[in-house]
Structure 1
Amino acid sequence: MHTNPAAPTRSERSALTSAAAVLGMGLIVATLAGCSVIEPYMPEQQKHYDSYGDAPSKANSEDVAWFMPSWVPDDAKDVDVRLDTSDPGYVIAFTSKDGVDTAACTAVDGTKGGPAMTAGFLPDELPATGLRTCGDGRITAEIDGRWYGWTPKQPIESDGNDTLRSS
């Protein structure tokens, strides 16, 4: 009987089969869990919510990264959010009949270098004037009847990050 020195031994084949089975079971569990096991390790994420009520709030979110900023009105609809949990970057867009209560916001001089991250739902051109911040270090503006908020490349003073908590 001729043996091939490059061929795996019976015990090596058994170890490989066991490792493949464990990996496969892990993938099945992640799939059944809705990928929530994998999601926290993906720094850039994007989500859509039909309404404010569908989105997590600080009170009901179990995720350290996903909940609506306090300045987003309760009647917000068609909410798109993109964020990066490893680098500063947050973009939100929504429609609202009531709009943002800008009385609680302050004016921002200039664009501060534009958004720190991109999102396909941002308009091609963002305004350079009439921008505001609502206390969370993000710029807020209404553009063609839709509200937008974004973390700018150049930081602006904030009262804290109310859309990413530390644990």
Structure 2
Amino acid sequence: MNRRPLVIAAATVGVLATAAVALPNLPTNPVTNAINDRVFKEKGKRYATAAEAPTRGESAWTLPDWVPRDATDVRIKARTSGGARLIRFTLAATPLDGPQCAAGTPKKSPKTALAAKWWPGDTRAEERPECRDHYQYQVTVRGKNVYAWTDGTPSPGANNTQGGAQVQPASSRTH
């Protein structure tokens, strides 16, 4: 019996299984960035301060207005095929004026659809809704670290326009 095809098949399965486990945990580089973008439909950006983040342009990389401009170590991970985003930053001199929703009742969002090595997995009990942006965020503050995520749900009572263009719910957008 020729065992060569079985050995090749087993080796291929082993390589694919190892890649599936290892690739998401590797440091960012052109290979992992390309895989995250094409396979997982996710991209990430990092800024030394919030002031370095763009204020206009692709909405995935612009920060909500409630993020203090002097915040540091800003990390963003965004789903390229929808409105899901993770944002992490460290507070500097300007305090966060607390998550708040002035108009309407925020929807209780399911757990975040994204994951990152820098994102703690146990924020659910501490999350508070933030509705002062076009999108509703769930925000957790731990000391000086702030973690915020959205699945693209529009904020209740928000005028969901950006630059005069109607903002579509994440479920109806395509990129």
Q: What are the ranges of 5 or more consecutive residues in structure 1 without an aligned counterpart?
A: 1-37
Q: 2:54 maps to which residue?
A: 56
Aligned partners of 2:59, 2:76: CA distance in 1, in Å?
15
Q: What are the ranges of 5 or more consecutive residues in structure 2 without an aligned counterpart?
A: 1-33, 169-175
Asked whether the equivalents of residues 93 and 122 of structure 1 are also in contact (C-alpha less than 8 Å), the reply is yes
Pick from 100, 123, 129 the counterpart of residue 120 of structure 2: 123
Pick from 128, 134, 144 the counterpart of residue 131 of structure 2: 134
Q: 2:18 maps to which residue?
A: none
Cα 1:128–1:74 change in 2 (3 A) is same
Cα 1:54–1:102 change in 2 (3 A) is same
Q: TM-score, normalised by structure 1?
A: 0.58
| 1:144 paired to 2:146 | no
How far 1:54 sits from its partner (Å)? 1.5
SS at match of 1:94: strand
Q: 1:82 maps to which residue?
A: 77
* Aligned residue-pair number: 122
| Sequence identity (%) | 25
Letter of the 1:137 partner, please give it.
Q
Q: 1:101 maps to which residue?
A: 97
Asked whether the equivalents of residues 106 and 136 of structure 2 are also in contact (C-alpha less than 8 Å), the reply is no
Cα 1:110–1:144 change in 2 (3 A) is farther
Cα 1:102–1:45 change in 2 (3 A) is same
Determine which structure has more spread, i.e. the larger CA radius of gyration: 1
